[in-house]
Every structure is written in structure tokens, then in C-alpha cells.
Amino acid sequence: MTITAAADGSALGNPGPAGWAWYVDDSCWAAGGWKHATNNQGELKAVLELFRATAHIDDDLLVLCDSQYVINSVTKWMKGWKAKGWRKGDGKPVMNLDLLKEIDEAIAGRRYRFEWVKGHVGHPLNEAADERARGAAEAFQRGRSAPAGPGFTALQSKTQPVGQARAAASGGLRTLGSSTAPALTTGRTTERAVAFAHDELFSLDDIGEDAGEDHRDRIDPHGPDAMRSGGEMHRVTLSLSAEEHGRLVSRSADRGESIEEYLRGLII
């Protein structure tokens, strides 16, 4: 059986008020943050807390993550760093050392796998984790309490065969624009899920050890209160055909924006 969860981080200003979150579904997630941290620290903390939350469960763990820095750190570089006394190939100290050491302890003896997903393009689990991480960062920015989430609950409903887990993570779609694509139902609204073809993935070998850390300060595309005028927010639900939704996803991706940002930009 496999537990499938997304882990994500957010930093407003990067560094700045920051948050982290992992997400399985609306009844099984957790989030937190700090007054001042980087995006990479949020990404690492999300993964760490996911492993801690599932430490008592003897199941495989599939971690969906949009940070190649995190994936490479855990699966590719960590062994070499440890052998060199937690130093990189050039002899410089490894960044975010405390978090990395804690992750190293948390994954010992665990059965896990990471899968890279493209961020901010509508992937249902990634978007849910991102929303909660960003919400925690915004709460710290405003001096408010950040929702912590229910934690890991209802084990029986969170574990499923690997094939089913992968289908759930992608919304059950096979190809973008499929007329038979099912809708994804969340606790608040029903929206069209997005398929992610494997040819969108690129090899983790394409970036080196230093490249991951050089890009540790990835700017949160949402930004603090991006494009919001304050006051009461209104949720709008729009029904789209699979073809229409595919065009929406493609156009927002071409602009390097989330679907929400792209749509909001049309009315500003």
C-alpha cells in the first residue's frame, strides 16, 4: 500500500514570512511556518514533517514535490554530503544543515519515493499543499495564528495500491483534453483535474549539486497579497470542457502563472 502526499513551501519576499505544508486530502494535512525563512527551508520542512507524521505507519510513501533542490538533496546528494562531513564537493558547508540532518534521521528505514511535479499549473495535490503553505506564510506576515491542520488521520482512507495512488495524484486523467476526464471533488468545490504527461519531467541529473542551492531563493509567484485589493473575497466556480480546461492550463503555464493568477489578470 502507498500513501500519496504533496509537500510544498512558500516564502513571501524569500527570505521573509514563510510556510510549509503537506497534503493528502482535505481531512489529512498539516501546515506551519516562521516569521523569517527561505522557500527552500519551507520545502524541506514540509518533507520533514510529512515523514514525521507517518513514522508510525508501515506503508510506502510517495512524496509529490515541485522542488528539485529538495528531491536531489534527499535522494542524490545527501549520502555524499554525509561522507564529507556535511560539506559539498567544493568543501563549503551544506546549507540548511539542521533540516537536512533531521530529514536524514526521519527517512532511516523508511520505504519512500519522490516524484517531481510541475508547480503552479493546477496539479490538485500540489496546489492544495501550496495553498496551505502560502496561507501559513501570510498568517505569519500579518501576525495571526496559522491553521495547523488535522494532521495524519483516518489511515484506512489514505492508503491504496500504487496504481490507484498515481491515478489519484493526477486526478485520474490519462491525457490532457480527454473528453472522458473525471472531475476532482474537494471539500469546497468541484473542478477539472489536470493530467501531467511524463514528457514534461526532466532528469534530475540535469542540475548539479551547486545549481540546486544557487536557486534556493525561488520567488513565490503569488507574492504577498498578490493582485488582491483586500476586503471580502468571492469564490467563483466555472464549469469547463476538458478542451477548454486544457487551453487554460496551457496559457497560464506559458505566462509562468498559476491558473488563479492568470484568470485574475484578465479582470484587473
Return phi, psi of residue 97, to 5°: -60, -45
Which residue do the cell numbers 481531512 mark?
A: 27
Percent helix / strand / coil, the chain, rounded to 5: 40, 20, 40
130 is catalytic: yes
> What is the radius of gyration, based on Cα positions, of the chain?
18
Give the active site residue among 49, 66, 191, 220. 66
9 is catalytic: yes
Pairing of strands 183-185, 190-192: antiparallel
120 is catalytic: yes
Asked whether 24 and 3 are in contact (CB, 8 A), the reply is yes
Written as nine digits, the cell of 94 is: 551544506
Give the active site residue among 8, 25, 127, 191. 8
- For residue 184, list its beta bridge partners: 191
Q: How far is CA 194 from CA 160, 170, 250, in A?
A: 21, 7, 11
Give the active site residue among 16, 25, 32, 43. 43
Give the active site residue among 127, 130, 138, 209. 130
Give the active site residue among 120, 123, 222, 245. 120
CB-based contacts of 4, cutoff 8 Å, min separation 6? 24, 62, 64, 125, 160, 165, 166, 168, 169
Catalytic residue set: 8-9, 43, 66, 120, 130
